[in-house]
């Protein structure tokens, strides 16, 4: 992970430098905005990977040059076997885009639906507190 966050931090710095060069050459506002957003995105990914590496606090097999393939074996995480939430989330996102064409009222309904779907998707496997376990 050490190499990963350095790669994204370097990419973010590169995009900032290219933005300045593009602005000095006389680039248009859309290109400057796109390059700055790319720098921000690379910076956010780099920060997330750096933060995750600091939280884990150990050397991963990917960073160890003498690691064996079996060092990376084990559970990779929890992956949902089935979920219906991606379907309404995608439909709500499409409706949000269409709402920009149809009218503000449709956009409002679609964005509200999108927020509900994202909350449902994120909290799909959360267990509610029961009365006996609340104390």
Q: Mean pLDDT across the chain, nearest whole number?
A: 88
Return the pLDDT at 132.
Answer: 59
Return the pLDDT at 53.
Answer: 84
- Domain boundaries along the sequence of the chain: 2-60, 86-122
Return the pLDDT at 131.
Answer: 61
Return the pLDDT at 75.
Answer: 77
Q: What are phi and psi of 60, to 5 degrees?
A: -80, 160
CA distances from 101 to 96, 105, 106, 107 (A): 9, 11, 9, 9
Return the pLDDT at 62.
Answer: 76
Return the pLDDT at 115.
Answer: 97
DSSP secondary structure letter of residue 6? H
- How many angstroms separate the CA atoms of 109 and 14, rounded? 40
Return the pLDDT at 71.
Answer: 81
Question: Which residues, given as ranges, of the chain have pLDDT below 70?
Answer: 1, 76, 129-135
Return the pLDDT at 54.
Answer: 85
Counting every residue, how long is the chain? Answer: 135
């Amino acid at each position: 992970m050490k190499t990963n966050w350095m790669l994204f931090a370097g990419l973010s710095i590169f995009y900032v430098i290219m933005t300045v060069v593009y602005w000095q050459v006389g680039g248009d506002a859309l290109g400057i905005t796109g390059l700055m957003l790319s720098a921000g995105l690379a910076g956010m990914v780099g920060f997330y990977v750096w933060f995750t590496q600091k939280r884990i606090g150990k050397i991963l097999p990917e960073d160890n040059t003498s690691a064996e393939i079996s060092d990376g074996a084990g559970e990779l995480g929890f992956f949902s076997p089935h979920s219906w939430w991606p379907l309404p989330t995608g439909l709500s996102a499409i409706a949000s885009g269409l709402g920009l064409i149809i009218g503000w009222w449709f956009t409002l309904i679609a964005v509200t639906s999108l927020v509900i779907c994202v909350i449902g998707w994120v909290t799909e496997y959360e267990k509610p507190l029961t009365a006996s376990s609340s104390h």
